[in-house]
Amino acid sequence: MVVLGLPVASGVHPAHAHAHGGVAWHSYKQLLDAWRGSHVSGLAELKRYLARFWYMAKPRHDTTDAFDEHLELAVRRYQTRLSLPVTGWLDNATLDQIMSPRCGVRDDEEERRPVSVTLSPGQGGVVSRFTFFKGEPRWTLYDPPIMLSYVVSPTATVDYLLPAVVRAFVRWAWAIPVGFVETDNYEAADIKMGFYAGNHGDGVLLGILSHAFSLKNGRLHLDASEHWAVDFDVDATAAAIDLESVATHEISHVLGLGHSALPHAVMYQSIKPREKKVDIIF
């Protein structure tokens, strides 16, 4: 976690002012209102951030702090994908999103297709639209229920966090014909959950909130350096992130779901500190 050295723009909670994108942002204030033609220290990092999450081609090694037409296009694409006003410049709403804690899974659109899913009768049989990775989802209402095993790695895991993880699995088990059973066999588990920090061996640098792979891989990783909350009533920390919300989101990735453009959806790519987003139906 990198704390900015300069005061943040008014209206932005200081809790957002750290590097959830895995890069050390120079300053929120510095980047605010940058637009095509601007040359501001920190724009090179912004390009790397936008490239990492699909919005522009990977910049060359000697990338500059110039706000060029490629960056403008990427900013427009980002604003469109996140349902923000599409301005093409770094307005307050856009920077607020960029500074917000987000999921490490890319926001690719080409590989996702919108699918309507009928949830089980316990959920009212409501048809809900999700986006899925290619070839997903893996369950249907007509096949026998699938049973998936999960394990939470004891490394860096604090016991008081576990109830929130269990609640997230229970939410999904209510909604779809998939059951989840806890196991202590890490190698054999379908879903391998754990808290890690920094470079932890799968090619993804944590510094973002969390990330997950598809069911074939099954890994679901949460950033050990975040302040995770299981109950906001007893945890007053301003920067606390709701673990149940993020676990529900990442389990969805393991089940094959992609990101949603709806800000209040559990599958939106970011979550604010002290925000709770757990409803699977939207």
Extract the annotated binding site for Zn(2+).
103, 200, 202, 211, 221, 249, 253, 259, 267
Contact predicate 207/19, CB 8 Å: yes
Whether 69 is catalytic is no
Whose structure tokens read 């987000």? Answer: 102
Residues 173-202 that bind Zn ion (CB under 5 A): 202
Region for 37 from its dihedrals, namely left if φ exceeds 0, alpha if ψ lies in -120 to 50, beta otherwise: left
Three-state DSSP class for 87?
A: coil
Of the two residues 16 and 112, which places its CB atom closer to Zn ion in the complex?
A: 112
Contact predicate 12/28, CB 8 Å: yes
As measured in angstroms, the least distance from the Cβ of 250 to Zn ion is: 7
Give me the helix-helix angle, 162-175 and 243-254, nearest 10°: 50
C-beta nearest to Zn ion: residue: 103
Q: Does 103 bind Zn ion (CB under 5 A)?
A: yes
Q: Does 74 bind Zn ion (CB under 5 A)?
A: no
Three-state DSSP class for 196?
A: strand
Of the two residues 40 and 222, which places its CB atom closer to Zn ion in the complex?
A: 222
Of the two residues 69 and 202, which places its CB atom closer to Zn ion in the complex?
A: 202
Number of residues that bind Zn ion (CB under 5 A): 5
Stretch that binds Zn ion, among 28-36, 131-139, 180-188, 220-228 (CB under 5 A): 220-228
For 82, other C-beta atoms within 10 Å of its C-beta total: 22
As measured in angstroms, the least distance from the Cβ of 23 to Zn ion is: 17
Of 45, 136, 244, 250, which residue is the catalytic one?
Answer: 250
Q: Does 8 bind Zn ion (CB under 5 A)?
A: no
Binding-site residue positions for Ca(2+): 190, 223, 226
- Return the structure tokens found at 133: 């990775």
Stretch that binds Zn ion, among 37-45, 89-97, 105-113, 135-143 (CB under 5 A): 105-113
Please name which of 235, 233, 236, 202 lies closest in space to residue 104, comparing C-alpha atoms: 202
Classify residue 234 by burial, with Cβ atoms within 10 Å: 0-12, 13-18, 19+: exposed
Stretch that binds Zn ion, among 37-45, 85-93, 140-148, 213-221 (CB under 5 A): 213-221
